[in-house]
């Protein structure tokens, strides 16, 4: 199983490939469409499934174009499905200084409206949809934020964690959260699920041991925004 990060200016989508099959986790902005199609072509694999971790526009931008080009269905958790369909202006609640600084940029543009083909429950076996591993609900950043765990133990968490800008890339709680308490419970759930790489949707990966540290602070009640 190979993982190819496909980046745009702010966000990363992950193309997961095994044998002749591919699954995309998140869809960044529309600008990644040719890059994903070129990679599928180069590897001679077929895209079977597009899983969105949540509805924010920097995670869903290429979903429609890639669905049209490949026929792969677009999946999101059912609690984020209405917001995905609605599109329009994004509202976020910053939870850190960095979040407050970035909020005006994040909320500037209009989101595309995307109609999902699949609305997931809290845990889905992705094999039945042609993908790999399974999803689990990690809410807080948004109500329907979901993460993906691959058979090799890698977890893809979308924005359920933020990575520190400087090395080592420590795991931090999400910089925006609709519900802070819930997002901290999700940090613990992610640490319990994780036994490999941790991929976040912005700068790439965080150090797994730092996710465990973050979760112990959350368990002790000392993790505060």
CB of 209 to Zn ion, least distance (A): 24
| Residue 159 makes contact with Zn ion by CB under 5 A | yes
Query: Which residue, 29 or 48, has its beta carbon nearer to Zn ion?
Result: 29
Which segment (41-49, 55-63, 74-82, 164-172) binds Zn ion by CB under 5 A? 55-63
| Residue 80 makes contact with Zn ion by CB under 5 A | no
Is the distance from CB of 176 to CB of 99 less than 8 angstroms? Answer: yes
CB of 220 to Zn ion, least distance (A): 27
| Residue 77 makes contact with Zn ion by CB under 5 A | no
CB of 75 to Zn ion, least distance (A): 17
CB of 26 to Zn ion, least distance (A): 8
Residue whose C-alpha is closest to residue 41's, from 57, 17, 60, 61: 17
* Torsion sign over Cα 199, 203, 207, 210: negative
Query: Which residue, 18 or 202, has its beta carbon nearer to Zn ion?
Result: 202
CB of 41 to Zn ion, least distance (A): 27
| Residue 58 makes contact with Zn ion by CB under 5 A | yes
Member of 13, 32, 56, 169 binding Zn ion (CB under 5 A): 56
| Residue 178 makes contact with Zn ion by CB under 5 A | no
Q: What phi, psi does 198 have (nearest 5°)?
A: -120, 115
Query: Which residue, 124 or 159, has its beta carbon nearer to Zn ion?
Result: 159
Query: Based on C-alpha coordinates, what's the Rg of the chain?
Result: 16
Please report, to the nearest 10 degrees, the dihedral formed by the alpha carbons of residues 205, 186, 184, 53 taken in order.
60
The CA distance from 161 to 163, in Å, is: 7
Burial class of 53 by CB neighbour count within 10 A (0 to 12, 13 to 18, 19+): buried
CB of 115 to Zn ion, least distance (A): 20
Residue whose C-alpha is closest to residue 171's, from 209, 135, 138: 209
Which segment (43-51, 72-80, 153-161, 177-185) binds Zn ion by CB under 5 A? 153-161
């Amino acid at each position: 199983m190979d993982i190819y990060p496909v980046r745009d200016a702010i966000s990363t989508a992950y193309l997961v490939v095994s044998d002749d099959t591919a699954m995309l986790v998140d869809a960044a902005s529309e600008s990644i469409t040719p890059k994903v199609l070129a990679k599928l072509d180069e590897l001679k694999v077929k895209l079977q499934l597009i899983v969105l971790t949540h509805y924010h526009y920097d995670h869903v931008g290429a979903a429609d174009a890639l669905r049209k080009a490949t026929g792969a269905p677009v999946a999101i958790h059912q609690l984020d499905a209405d917001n995905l369909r609605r599109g329009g202006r994004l509202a976020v609640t910053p939870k850190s200084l960095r979040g407050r600084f970035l909020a005006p940029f994040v909320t500037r543009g209009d989101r595309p409206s995307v109609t999902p083909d699949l609305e997931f429950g809290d845990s889905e076996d992705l094999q039945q949809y042609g993908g790999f591993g399974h999803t689990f609900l990690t809410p807080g950043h948004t109500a329907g934020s979901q993460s993906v765990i691959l058979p090799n133990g890698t977890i893809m968490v979308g924005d359920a964690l933020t990575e520190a800008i400087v090395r080592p890339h420590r795991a931090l709680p999400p910089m925006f959260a609709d519900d802070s308490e819930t997002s901290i419970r999700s940090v613990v759930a992610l640490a319990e699920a994780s036994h490999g790489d941790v991929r976040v949707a912005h700068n790439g990966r965080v150090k797994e041991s730092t996710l465990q540290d973050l979760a112990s602070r959350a368990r002790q009640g000392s993790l505060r925004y």
